[in-house]
Structure 1
Amino acid sequence: MPSIPGAVRRTVMLTAGIVLLGACGGEGGSPSGAAAEKGGAGYPVTLENCGRTVTVEAAPHRAVSLNQGSTEILFSLGLADRLAGTATWTDPVMKGLEEADAAVPRIAENQPSSEKVLDKEPDFVSASFESTLGKGGVAPREQFEELGVPTYLSPTDCTAKDNTGSSDGSRTKPLTMESVYDEVHDLAEVFGVTERGDALVAGLRERIETATADIDASDTTLLYWFANSEAPYLAGCCGAPGIITEELGAKNVFDDTHEEWPQINWETVADRNPDVLVIGDLTRKSQTAESAEKKIEFLETNPATKNMDAVRHKRYVLLSGQAMNPTIRTVEGVERVAAGLRSFGLAG
């Protein structure tokens, strides 16, 4: 990853771009004209975000979103025209957002360099994971902020979470959808579209209520497999899969670990013998057995797993990677797992 000093030559251009963009008109009640030069009505916006105070002087018009989860929130808020670029995708874009996605350049399918991000002259940068805006990621938050670019990190990755150990971190207490809703409200406030944020959250809450109505899965055990067949990443108790499990009243067979995605051997998985396997259907190619098809092929031929109850009865629920991360698509996860349990006769 290029160091920021190599990009300092852009500082004057970047700062000038932010001032000029702040003077442009925009939809959703964004400021225009002389008022925008002073930030406009409702600005500056100041947020407490993952232990940092973030101040946004004017509604962003050239934002860059560095993770798919953050990007899909911004698209869902109708902000595609305020984005200069996106990056780090694991799945096809959420249904209904294809037009927005097509209108915004992808800086990189995976993690971009800081130089490529700065080439977009961003006036705001958002990310879903601390690793994206930390050492070894695109660039630490401080480096963007030194250039006058405010940054935002999803509270789902810092609320009651320790990211100092393994790459995926561990939870000190279970995550809830409230952290996702907080992210929606924060981003809506930053962009000056708070009513859209309220409407989006209300819709997500309603979908969960509908999906979980009259369901009783208290006698059902689940296992969540995100990626990798050689050393599989399986869900611990308390991340996004924990939200799904809790909403349905079921039990995660690995709820005794607080690691986000511990790597657990297949013999231990077979010993836990879950009723249902929730399988990540990813389109990326950075691990072994990314697609659901490859995962199922492995499960049905591996000596350690082929005799598990869920495998013999083909009790599989397929989810996008984003539904297994703490995002607005976690709601999609609740809906699909609920539908799967009902189809298997395991919903009470």
Structure 2
Amino acid sequence: MRPLSRRELGPLTGAAVLALAGCGASEAVPPQSTASAGEGGTTYPLVLRNGDREVRFERAPQRVVSLDQGSTEILLSLGLADRIVGTASWTDPVLDSLAAANEGVPRLADNAPTYEVLLGADPDLVTASFGRHFAEQGGVVTRDRLAETGIASYLSPTDLDDGQSVNGGKKARTTPLTVDSLFQEVRELAQVFDVAQRGEDLVADLQRRAREATEGVDVGGRTVAFWFANLDTPFVAGGKGAASLLATSTGLRNVFADQAEDWPSVSWESVVAADPDVLVLGDLRRDRFPGDRLAAKEEFLRTDPVASVLSAARAQRYVALHGAELNPSIRYVDGLAKLGAWWREHGQDL
């Protein structure tokens, strides 16, 4: 007789990784499972506060599905490719340095998978960079439903504002995103998987590379707009999300800094009125929205009667960044490096 899968065992399995919604009481821990610090020094059971709930781990997860590229690349960077049984929602090719590790990771969907496809991977943990995947409407599955079947869930702290998901609910941030939220995600996932030192090493490497990327770079308040996707009403970076963090780190001034949403939809007339010195264009390798790809954006800026009057369009003052470099992910250092390199080469022309 075949063994039962995790979704069949559901909450009955004693070794399951359990998600505890809200502030409910934790179950008693059997004496035999109170032990165990492994290579990273994690002691189980481990309980993390994550958004509006506590998530409890009886042991390091063995089968994780990551619903976003950013989350997947963190797991790969922590050396956890053998634990990833599914990934989804990619904007770009995987980092070259992670390509070999990613070869054996199943792609469940280029965008969001269905709930049935997710369950088919039989995960004991589901991670996401954006809370929209855990939303009641239009999402993959709610965290409560996962918890009911004994599957833990983890949402990146970069998508949390006052404990609530930005992209999965409240839409607007009250507090600007800082890189500390990304480092928290790295450290917490490393702790969950009992590879804490790998997490510290990754954070240290990101900090070093960020310093190198921005050394000597201060553009003196030159203005910028970040265009992620969509042709008719472009999605641009607001003032409190990851892309605007790239601006403040390099001395650029985001012309849509007054927008509280991460990626508000605006009119081209408002972009022209702001007339930024530089345009950062999303170089997305997908076709979810019109204008995802860099070539489509450049053609639009050349031919559209409104957008083509922009100073940056006429002078082709563009910096192309991958979608993953504009999202809150370990790719932020690559975005900083590209902005710094562009400024060193072209800044004197502004």
Smaller-chain TM-score range?
Answer: 0.7 to 0.9
Q: Does 1:313 find its partner at 2:315? A: yes
Cα deviation 1:104-145 (Å, max 9, x = unaligned): 111111111111111111111100111111212110001111
Which letter does structure 2 place at the counterpart of 1:131? R
The alignment's C-alpha RMSD in Å is 2.5
Answer yes or no: is the 8 Å Cα contact 2:135–2:168 preserved in 1.
Answer: no
Q: Name structure 2 gaps, 5 residues minimum.
A: 18-30, 38-42
> Aligned partners of 1:15, 1:117: CA distance in 2, in Å?
17
1:3 match: none
Answer yes or no: is the 8 Å Cα contact 2:92–2:285 preserved in 1.
Answer: yes
> Aligned partners of 1:60, 1:143: CA distance in 2, in Å?
18
Paired-residue identity, %: 43
> Aligned partners of 1:101, 1:196: CA distance in 2, in Å?
18
2:222 match: 220
Q: Name structure 1 gaps, 5 residues minimum.
A: 1-8, 22-34
Answer yes or no: is the 8 Å Cα contact 1:229–1:288 preserved in 2.
Answer: yes
SS, match of residue 279 in structure 2:
strand
1:138 match: 140
Match of 1:251 among 236, 241, 253: 253
- Offset at 1:40? 3.1
- TM-score w.r.t. the length of structure 2 is 0.87
> Aligned partners of 2:207, 2:68: CA distance in 1, in Å?
23
Number of paired residues?
A: 328
> Aligned partners of 2:323, 2:335: CA distance in 1, in Å?
10
Q: Does 1:182 find its partner at 2:184? A: yes
Which letter does structure 2 place at the counterpart of 1:12? E
SS, match of residue 281 in structure 2:
strand
SS, match of residue 225 in structure 1:
strand
- Offset at 1:254? 0.8
Change (3 A) 1:161 1:218: farther
> Aligned partners of 1:166, 1:192: CA distance in 2, in Å?
28
Change (3 A) 1:336 1:130: same
- TM-score w.r.t. the length of structure 1 is 0.88
2:266 match: 264
1:70 match: 71
Change (3 A) 1:161 1:264: farther
Cα deviation 1:205-231 (Å, max 9, x = unaligned): 111111111221123111100000011
> Aligned partners of 1:195, 1:331: CA distance in 2, in Å?
20
Which letter does structure 2 place at the counterpart of 1:80? A
SS, match of residue 213 in structure 2:
helix
SS, match of residue 85 in structure 2:
strand
